[in-house]
């Protein structure tokens, strides 16, 4: 398995819809493994394939319960039901370093997807877990968490991010990395 490089905004991939996976095969399972390795390396709770420069409908999430890995892999995920009740959490992204925002989303969702064995699954998620899934699925549809904000708030945060990047340039993984 390998740690993949995270795409830093702005990048056109964040405005493109991802392609559905036609068949879950060894190449898809290997990509899922790399995504989970990257998730752990980055100490993140979720990663969608476009965040790694890959336009495929795959997202991985691991909220680690009691510091024990509990990974989920969502291939071709579709939200089939959302609650009318909403909740707000502070959201951030590896692709938008140095910024975060309070985002309102449905409190509960029902998700249909393929697991890494290609088996159709249905999952009901609520609370923070539901928010993380929705955050990652936005990337698959050419959206980011910033698209839930007003243009003025979004522009202000993007300027703040550019300043952060200037003083904290992101690490780009290469064959010379020690990890």
Per-residue DSSP letter, 9: S
Spatial distance between the Cα atoms of 84 and 41, rounded to a whole number of angstroms:
35
Identify any residues that bridge with 81 across adjacent strands, giving them in sequence order. 110
Identify any residues that bridge with 114 across adjacent strands, giving them in sequence order. 75, 120
Those residues whose C-beta lies under 8 Å from the C-beta of residue 38, and which sit 6 or more positions away, are 3, 4, 6, 47, 52
Spatial distance between the Cα atoms of 148 and 131, rounded to a whole number of angstroms:
13
Count of positions (residues) in the chain: 179
Spatial distance between the Cα atoms of 89 and 132, rounded to a whole number of angstroms:
10
Spatial distance between the Cα atoms of 24 and 20, rounded to a whole number of angstroms:
11
Where in the sequence numbering do the catalytic residues fall?
136
Nearest to 132 by CA among 158, 97, 106, 98: 106
């Amino acid at each position: 398995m390998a740690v993949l490089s995270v795409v830093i905004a702005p990048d056109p991939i964040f405005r493109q819809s991802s392609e559905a996976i036609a068949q879950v095969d060894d190449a898809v399972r290997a990509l899922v493994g790399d995504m989970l390795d990257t998730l752990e390396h980055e100490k993140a709770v979720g990663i969608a394939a476009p965040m790694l420069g890959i336009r495929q409908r795959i997202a991985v999430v691991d909220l680690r319960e009691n510091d024990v890995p509990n990974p989920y892999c969502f291939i071709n995920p579709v939200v089939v039901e959302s609650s009318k009740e909403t909740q707000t959490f502070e959201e951030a992204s590896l692709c938008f370093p140095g910024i975060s925002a309070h985002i309102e989303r449905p409190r509960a969702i029902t998700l249909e997807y393929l697991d890494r064995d290609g088996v159709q699954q249905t999952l009901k998620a609520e609370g923070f877990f539901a928010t993380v899934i929705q955050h990652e699925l936005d990337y698959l549809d050419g959206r980011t968490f910033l698209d839930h904000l007003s243009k003025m708030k979004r522009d202000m945060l993007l300027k703040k991010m550019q300043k952060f990047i200037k003083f904290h340039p992101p690490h780009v993984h290469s064959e010379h990395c020690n990890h």
